[in-house]
Amino acid sequence: MRKALLSTAVAEQRQSLLRAVATLPDDAWDVVCPNPAAAQGVVRLDEPVRTVRDLVAHVCVVDGLSLGANPVRPWDALWRLEMPSGWDRRRVMPFLDLSPSDLLGVLARSGDRVVRMVSATPPAMGRLPVTGPFGRQPLVQLVTQRVLHEWLHERDVVDAIAGGPPRRVPSPQPAVAEAIVDVILAMMPEQVLPRADADGGVVRLIIDIDSGASNDDGVVGARRVWAADFARRHYGPRVVVSPDATVRMDAATLALLTNGRWDRVGWGNCVMIDGDEALGKLLLDAIRRPIRSLPSPGLDDDRTVTTSP
């Protein structure tokens, strides 16, 4: 993902989160947000209770971890997105004591600082492999993971305030959608596809980046095409074999399905399968199992298993 587009995604996602919480009445900050499903192999000892205020404070903590990291490796804290460090009550509590207006101010200022840090990072550094929540991966992948992480928490807040049955989730801004799709597709070969109970066949996955545009309109990046050849174990955009099944969805639906929030996919967020429906459903079944993060170094498993994805 190009640096300029990534910087735009980080900035636009923070502005989107700010818009979602800026007009909330004071009592809405105490509304409890829904918990996503736990990742495969993770058993929660208890379900954490997280209010809107908790989630916003958590995002501020993650900002602080990123901005306060070692100046030689300013990104080494980004991988703590959903690790216990990001939910450490000692770090979260100071933010919980702030008024909503003060907390919004911190969220805006720290977001601006993170955007400046992303913009100031030389493009070559984006290719450097660093330790992240899903093993070693390029630095740019950690930043895209951050965009996804924040978008998911924005949805948690919006869903908590709206209540009621699932409704259509609006498409993220194109730059945000690009970042979301980038990070999910990068993780799929190792994190998702081994779960697919398929011995053969080819599934093509089409993800709409901008639901209001199409490639026929000349819009670059209006959709992403990705495929899985289960017989040859080849995955990615370069699989050109004719597919046995084609699965199509938008970026928001993909993000919800892969991160334990499939029960919040609204009626308007359709998943379409063309061709071998059974094969397409095998891929969807693998996708809808939440991706599991690696535990934080130096923290015991008890703290990891109680941490929400």
pTM of structure:
0.82
Q: Per-residue pLDDT tens for 49-69?
A: 789 999 999 999 888 877 765
Q: Residue 39's pLDDT is what?
A: 66
Confidence band (pLDDT; 50, 70, 90) for 309?
A: very low
227 closest CA partner among 241, 208, 210? 241
d(C-alpha 93, C-alpha 58), whole Å: 10
Q: Residue 273's pLDDT is what?
A: 92
3-state helix, strand, coil in the chain (%, to 5): 50, 10, 35
Q: Residue 43's pLDDT is what?
A: 62
Residue 116 has pLDDT above 50, yes or no: yes
Q: What single-letter amino acid sits at 211?
A: S
Q: What single-letter DSSP state applies at residue 123? A: G
Domain 3-164 in CATH 1.20.80.10:
no
Q: In the predicted model, what is the mean pLDDT of residues 263-278? A: 82
Which CATH superfamily does the domain covering 188-287 fall into?
Answer: SCP2 sterol-binding domain (3.30.1050.10)
Q: Per-residue pLDDT tens for 284-296?
A: 888 887 655 433 3
Q: In the predicted model, what is the mean pLDDT of residues 5-14? A: 94
Q: Where are the domains of the chain?
A: 3-164, 188-287
Q: Per-residue pLDDT tens for 197-213?
A: 888 999 999 999 975 54
Q: Is the dihedral of CA 120, 1, 253, 293 positive or negative?
A: negative
d(C-alpha 222, C-alpha 242), whole Å: 22
